[in-house]
A = this chain, B = another copy of it.
Amino acid sequence: MNRRMKSVQIVHTIEGVRSAVAEARKAGQRIGFVPTMGGLHEGHGSLMDRSVSECGFTVVSIFVNALQFGPAEDFQKYPRELDVDAAFCERRGVDLIFAPTHEEMYPREQRTFVEVTGLTDGLCGKYRPGHFRGVTTVVAKLLLAVLPDVAYFGEKDGQQLAVVKRMVADLNFPVEICPVATVREPDGLAMSTRNRYLAPEERRAATAVYRSLQRARALLAGGERDAATVRAAVHDVLAAERAIQVQYVEVVDAEELQPLSYIDGRVMVAVAVYVGGTRLIDNLVYP
């Protein structure tokens, strides 16, 4: 059967997603889950492809989670195009879209929060207070609504991936977290829903983010072990673009995300910049 010919089912309630998943599970299917906020692009597409290839039943959630946006952030303007996103999912062979309303996910004042300490102190956590608490709380809620066997997360959001992995391990969630490599534009820019905010000149400048990480990779591959040297080299590449304002450049261990001065073991070089009003992040993990 050609999966692309099958039409995708859309449900808006937790009850709806539970009964569809229960049926698929009863039929012996492995359940794959791709949580998204919509605004789908090829990065999401690669998560879906992976799930569809590994699981008999793939669920994609589309939910712009207010809880993870700061008051000055882009919650209002974040793209919401369910028809376009549903067509995207259908082309990728997704079986079920779970697109709850805010009221379905937060029917009463949310008093319960899931928080991962330590790993959320630095990087984006430092500049987006409450963001990761919003992420882990909604991911916990989504995992408990869907109860998938495996959930797919992109490596582009490197801190989010590490935080979700830790949450799942720490709380005994019965799910495997599967990281998927960042998908990039031909010029290296990491796919992101927020790329569509970029004006043409900003879009061109944004390529410096990937180039700066390539510079870091070359240094690490060449044996550089001084984190300050790596960070300075990344800053140099970014500083050459006047449209870019650096928020942070950090070298951290890849597990606990703590800043390093001497590079040893698996590290993440993580970057956050503003290009005009648009915040972009990217990272590399080495080796």
Show the binding face of A for B, using Cβ within 8 Å.
14, 18, 108, 110-119, 136-137, 140-141, 144-145, 147, 166-167, 169-174
Q: Determine the chain B residues whose CB is within 8 A of the CB of A113 once the complex forms.
A: 114-115, 117
C-alpha spacing A18/B172, complex, angstroms: 11
Min Cβ gap A122→B in Å is 14
Q: Mind listing 15 A-B residue pairs with CB under 8 Å? A: A18-B174, A110-B170, A111-B117, A111-B119, A112-B116, A112-B136, A112-B167, A113-B115, A113-B117, A115-B115, A137-B171, A141-B172, A144-B172, A145-B172, A147-B174
Contact A141 B171 (CB under 8 A): yes
The quantity of this chain's copies bound in the complex is 2
Closest B residue to A145 using CB positions: B172
Contact B171 A144 (CB under 8 A): yes
Q: Determine the chain B residues whose CB is within 8 A of the CB of A145 once the complex forms.
A: 172
C-alpha spacing A201/B144, complex, angstroms: 49
Q: Determine the chain B residues whose CB is within 8 A of the CB of A111 once the complex forms.
A: 116-119, 166, 170
Contact A114 B114 (CB under 8 A): yes
C-alpha spacing A147/B112, complex, angstroms: 19
